[in-house]
Amino acid sequence: MRHESTALLIAERDGAWEAWVAPLRACADVLHVIHQRPEEGALAFASRVRSEVSRLDGDLAEAAFVGSATWGAEVLSARALVLRAVTAKLSASGTLTLDAPGRARHAMEALAEMAREQLQSSGVSVVAASLDAWPMAA
């Protein structure tokens, strides 16, 4: 029996996530997309992401978290919760890519740096990159 590889796309409301669909779909058998609902606050979205990620079968091969231009304290806390949930589900050689526009990209870079320090011996990679700089898109 063949084990299906799974990719995950997490999309904040107003994030430019649509361009990530095809590349992620190309690197896995199954792609799950979790999109923030119009009425859903940042922490409620993070809670829903954690719940949905925990129900996924198997480990994730690839994941992308595409944020919006928003970067306040509540959003940063929510993003950290999402990051922890996703990295816990990634396979030992899996990668989580964080992407966001403008100043929010700096926040994603900081989250990626903190995650790399915490996960350095696990084999899981966390990077901050736009789609055009994403290694799997080449």
**Which CATH homologous superfamily contains domain 6-137?**
NAD(P)-binding Rossmann-like Domain (3.40.50.720)
Indicate the pLDDT class of residue 30, thresholds 50, 70 and 90.
very high
Does the pLDDT value for residue 109 go beyond 50? yes
Minimum mean pLDDT range among 5-9, 23-27, 46-50, 113-117: 113-117
Whole-structure pTM value: 0.90
Indicate the pLDDT class of residue 136, thresholds 50, 70 and 90.
low
Among left, alpha and beta (phi > 0; psi -120 to 50; other), residue 70 is beta
Does the pLDDT value for residue 118 go beyond 90? no
On whether the CB atoms of residues 89 and 65 are closer than 8 A, the answer is no
Closest CA to 79 of 122, 120, 134, 36: 36
What pLDDT does 41 receive? 96
Domain ranges of the chain: 6-137
What pLDDT does 1 receive? 46
